[in-house]
Chain A
Amino acid sequence: GNSVTQMEGPVTLSEEAFLTINCTYTATGYPSLFWYVQYPGEGLQLLLKATKADDKGSNKGFEATYRKETTSFHLEKGSVQVSDSAVYFCALRGTGNQFYFGTGTSLTVIP
């Protein structure tokens, strides 16, 4: 079946630190992969996506590369800001178009 496993949080970083949030997946077929972000008090927003192996999604300084050989889609950012404090969800869309979300990783960036 389809599932997503995310790095457990919470994660606390100082401003300008490097961020990695690990995400691995199990899927039948060739899923599309997503990172969503939820800022405090707001709804989920799409951060980036990749639809096939070796694709790199990027947005707002965040990047993630679809690695089929390691079934991973790790989220990275070179220099985090206080405004990046949020909960990050990794997700996949399976061949049946159903979405499967990870449990979320809470990130707090301190000045």
Chain B
Amino acid sequence: EAGVAQSPRYKIIEKRQSVAFWCNPISGHATLYWYQQILGQGPKLLIQFQNNGVVDDSQLPKDRFSAERLKGVDSTLKIQPAKLEDSAVYLCASSQQVQETQYFGPGTRLLVL
């Protein structure tokens, strides 16, 4: 069974530029999560989808971050415009349903200069 796929693996941009990350969850998983992991900290949930609907986006900085999962399968997370403090690893995870085990992708490491 293929795991959670993410791309790109690494991205370097300058502040005020925009960037997008892509995630393809495990086939059949209804729930998809995006986390931000700043160096030296644990992952922080940004947004959670159940199929193509948003379950929780309370910690998503909505003035610059957006995410979608239009067909209830893969998802895109966008930052526009990026700030220096957005430098982090962005993790995508999926689970069959909300209370099931989460499986994590390898993450996208973002550096904002």
Give A residues with C-beta under 8 Å from B.
4, 6, 36, 41-46, 49, 89, 91, 93, 96-104
Contact = CB atoms under 8 A, between A and B. Distances in A.
A42 B4 CA distance: 12
A46 B102 contact: yes
Given A44-B91, A98-B56, A4 B101 contact: no
B56 A102 contact: no
Interface of B is mostly: loop
Contact of B102 (A41, A42, A99, A104): A99
B41 A43 contact: no
A89 B45 contact: no
Contacts of B41: 103-104
Interface of B: 3-4, 33, 40-45, 48, 55-56, 91, 93, 98-99, 101-107
Nearest to A44: B104
A101 B41 CA distance: 8
Contacts, number: 49
10 contacts: A4-B42, A41-B106, A44-B91, A45-B104, A46-B101, A46-B102, A49-B101, A103-B41, A104-B41, A104-B42
Interface of A is mostly: strand
A78 B68 CA distance: 45
B78 to A, nearest CB: 21
Contacts of A89: 42-43
B48 A98 contact: yes
Contacts of A100: 42
Contacts of B42: 4, 6, 89, 91, 100-104
B106 A42 contact: yes
